[in-house]
Chains A and B, each alone.
Chain A
Amino acid sequence: MRKIYQGFLRIEAVLAGVFLLLMVVMMFTGGVARLMRMPLNWTIDIATWSFAWSVFLCADIAWRKDLLMSVDIVAERFAPPVQRALTFVNYILIAGFLIYLAYSGIHLSWVSRARPFQGIPWASYSWVTLSLPVGAMIMLVTTWLKFKAFLAGPSAPAEL
């Protein structure tokens, strides 16, 4: 199980990296092509599509590595048992929010599948919209693992 999860994390990082590099290459190619008076409109389309997917994959990576910022000034002044209770509440609320994003994101992708991406008749915008519910589901898994580690006690490292 742990091995499968590690493999999955590799795939996630590779995909996010590929999307980012794709953005770089597309934006650069688009600029150069326009300079040479051969404007390519599809470079922007690929770049913005990659943008959406990279953002929500990277969001999970940031969440797993504890890079999402929080305001620590107040929370750290509470007594340790209170802090623990608050952390518990945080995980529950975050999980609820992620479930909502996943559910309504899939719903939206389905009901608005007729919406074209950048006006291109054969490309549905749902392929962009899906990036958020997919990202939310991965973040839900991350939240679950963080939560398990939290319940196991402060000394137990998360299996991330």
Chain B
Amino acid sequence: MLIVIIAFFVLLVIGMPVAFAIGISGALFFIQYPELPFTIPVQVTVSQTQNFSLLAIPLFIMAGNFLNHSGITEQLLKLASVLTGRLKGGLAQVSLALSALMGGVSGSAIADAAMQSRMLGEPMMKRGFSSGFTAGILSFGSVLTPLIPPGIGMILYGSIGQVSIGRMFAAGIIPALMLWLALAIAVWITAHMRGYQPERQTRPSLGELGGALRAGFWAMLFPVMLLFGLRAGVFTPSEIGAFAVIYAVFVGALIYRRLRTRNFIDALEGSLGDIGAVMFLIAVSAILTYGIVLERVPETLANWIIGLTDDISVIMVMIAVGVVVAGLVIDATVLIIMLTPIFLPLIRSLDGDPVHFGVVFILAATIGNFTPPIGAAMFAVCSVLKTRVSDYTRESVPFIIAVVAVTILLVFVPQAALWLPNMFFG
């Protein structure tokens, strides 16, 4: 496995597309194990496309493209500009709020981030935000996605680790709000330092507000219906993705009368490249994951950690760091499935709280997907926004500081996670 990991980094350094670097280094593993069928890399790659929870990703990417061409995004942003236009970095704050509100709808941080980049990226850049900053805020806004019920990660963690899923849902809420606040502060500080000007100087008149609200009705209904469909509702995340596409086409064609054959095709064509870039990377990552599991790398890591210390907080920090590193290439969902059975017993044996650990663990797994220099979700955002990883890296420093600070706070203040579930469930 060491050869594989070295090969992976060498290929990255020579500038090979990440998807190929993952596939080629992952395939090297099978040369070391000649008794394994040489067809396994193909099989596991194809298998990713039969995974029901990954099906949500292309659907939400399409939804993002169709929302833009239908006029829904534009109306939503007009309304936002009327409401928050006097704030410095107002649109960035709006994007953050949308991330927080619509987070969890797709059940995947990658799908959320890709959809929102498609929706909000261009308008933000048009208003003078750099592409690196835009990519950073849209990415890290999605970090709180899995903590908002009903995050798929929480359900998986609860099912695999036999932890009450209801408790997990309740435990995610306050940390999600803390993350939101921390990111909002980071945006505010950056906006002041950069001197991002407010979009407007005057308070909106009532008439202006009313007009924006009326015009934006169908656009506002969209996030509301998404939330209703999932939380009170009847649809699985993938179905909601499909519903979002159909809603965008319906509103764009019949109500805003913006969507015509020409931009319908544009929306679809734009989706092809986005989906290819995101899904090919996720599909081939299974090749690398196979070797990691077969050689029991996580178990080795867990044993090594126990050997070093028995302080529960230190162990949680070490696990979180390890998980962020693993998040370089492995999707958060896959990490949760893979690592819960390994780390949770460790935490239990040290009398740690499984709910508290779960929140930290799920958060760390998601952060890893977004942190430079590598991260499946980061690549999705950068590829949609055509942002260079170096720009992304530079501009996301304040957001990384914000989420890392909250994660560390969560490790040492378990009550932030446990207060709500203890109040609800005793």
List A residues at the B interface (Cβ < 8 Å). Answer: 13, 16-17, 20-21, 23-28, 30-31, 34-35, 44, 47-48, 51-52, 54-63, 65, 67-76, 83, 86-87, 89-90, 93-94, 96-97, 100-101, 104-105, 107-108, 111, 128-129, 131-133
Contact = CB atoms under 8 A, between A and B. Distances in A.
28 contacts: A17-B269, A23-B59, A25-B242, A28-B242, A47-B55, A47-B238, A48-B55, A51-B49, A54-B58, A55-B276, A58-B273, A58-B279, A62-B276, A62-B383, A67-B274, A68-B276, A69-B19, A69-B277, A69-B383, A70-B21, A72-B15, A90-B20, A101-B42, A101-B45, A104-B39, A104-B42, A128-B50, A129-B43
B412 interface: no
A59 B279 contact: yes
Q: State the 4 A-B residue pairs at the shortest beta-carbon distance, nearest first.
A: A62-B276, A75-B15, A58-B276, A31-B239
A71 B59 contact: no
B239 A28 contact: yes
A97 B273 contact: no
A20 B58 contact: yes
Contacts of B16: 70, 90, 93-94
Taking residues whose C-beta sits less than 8 angstroms from the other chain, chain B's interface range is 35 or more
Contacts of A71: 12-13, 15, 18, 373-374, 389
B27 A27 contact: no
Contact of A60 (B55, B276, B382, B389): B276
Contact of B50 (A23, A48, A62, A67): A48
Given A24-B62, A72-B389, 11 more contacts: A20-B58, A34-B234, A47-B55, A52-B46, A55-B275, A62-B273, A62-B383, A63-B276, A68-B277, A71-B13, A108-B39
B390 A56 contact: no
A134 to B, nearest CB: 11
A24 B20 CA distance: 28
Contacts of A129: 42-43, 46
Given A67-B273, A70-B15, A55 B242 contact: no
Contacts of B21: 70
Contacts of A34: 234
Contacts of B46: 52, 105, 128-129, 131-132
B246 interface: yes
A72 B58 contact: no
Nearest to B239: A31
B393 interface: yes
Given A23-B242, A104-B38, A69 B49 contact: no
B241 interface: yes
Contacts of B62: 20, 24
Given A24-B242, A48-B52, A59 B382 contact: no
Q: Is the interface of B mostly helix, strand, loop or mixed?
A: helix
Given A28-B239, A54-B58, A55-B280, A72 B388 contact: yes
B268 interface: yes
Contacts of A104: 38-39, 41-42
A31 B275 CA distance: 23
Contacts of A25: 242
Contacts of A20: 58, 62, 268, 271-272, 275
Given A70-B16, A71-B374, A105 B272 contact: no
Contacts of A133: 42
Contacts of B49: 48, 51-52, 55-56, 128, 131
Interface string B257-279: 00000000000110111111101
Contacts of B50: 48, 51-52, 128
A62 B280 contact: yes
B379 A69 contact: yes
A87 B14 CA distance: 8
Contacts of B19: 59, 68-69
Contacts of B389: 69-73
Contacts of B234: 31, 34-35
Interface in B1-51: 11-21, 23-24, 27, 38-39, 41-43, 45-46, 49-50
A68 B275 CA distance: 10
A68 B15 contact: no
Given A51-B50, A90-B15, A131-B46, A59 B59 contact: no
B12 to A, nearest CB: 5
A31 B241 CA distance: 11
Contact of A68 (B18, B24, B55): B18
Interface string B367-402: 000000110000100110000111001000000000
Interface in B37-78: 38-39, 41-43, 45-46, 49-50, 52, 55, 58-59, 62
B190 interface: no
B407 to A, nearest CB: 24
Contacts of A21: 268
Contact of B55 (A27, A83, A89, A93): A27
A23 B14 CA distance: 37
A55 B18 contact: no
